[in-house]
Amino acid sequence: MGIEELTSGGTLLRITRWGEPVMHAKTRPVTDFNDDLRTLVRNMFATMEVARGVGLAATQVGSDLSLFIYDCPDADEINRVGAICNPVVTLPEGDSRNLESAEEGCLSLPGAFQPLARPDKATCTGVDPWGQPVTVHGTGLLARCLQHETDHLNGTVFGDRLSNRLRRKLYAQHEELAHLYPAEWPLVPRKTSAGE
């Protein structure tokens, strides 16, 4: 049994938006590693693919479980795919800590991006959808993804980590493009700027 079998065949789910309660509350640990959990993972992969994301937390599809998925390149441009339940992220400290500022966005606030400095390496431990221990060492975009998705499971959205000025810019950007993303997106496709 591997993650490959959960990356296809799922059903699209609506992506939850910032401001909805599930997005700002701490999740509960996954304790049942059953078919329901694996169906949720499969549905999350289907949703993330259509939404063109690199990571998706369970809270972003309305579930309060401590779970996220990723399909994301690392610093060497090697694409890494996985699902982690009950994740704990460890970040470098002292001399080995290097912050990297890069544009960050969120499928739950579609269309908006602002720079955010995060450590360029992260280690995430947890269990896979079958209950087996898993450790992922992330670099580059994957390191950012592991931090971003684990934040979601603790009720933190990346806007919470921005300065007031950048947060205002982020919301203004989102407002400008919000009309392109129906409330039921991606169940209802994104509109084009031409108004189709």
Structure tokens given for 101: 């500022």
- Name the pTM for this structure: 0.95
Residue 149 appears among annotated catalytic residues: yes
Q: What is the pLDDT of residues 23-55, one digit of tens each?
A: 999 999 999 999 999 999 999 999 999 999 999
Pick the catalytic residue: 5, 20, 149, 184?
Answer: 149
Greatest alpha-carbon span in the chain: 52
Q: Measured between alpha carbons, how far is 42 from 70 in angstroms, rounded to an integer?
A: 12
Which of 141 and 195 is assigned the larger pLDDT? Answer: 141
CATH number for 3-180: choose from 3.90.45.10, 3.20.130.10, 3.90.1150.10, 3.30.420.40: 3.90.45.10
| Residue-range domain boundaries for the chain | 3-180
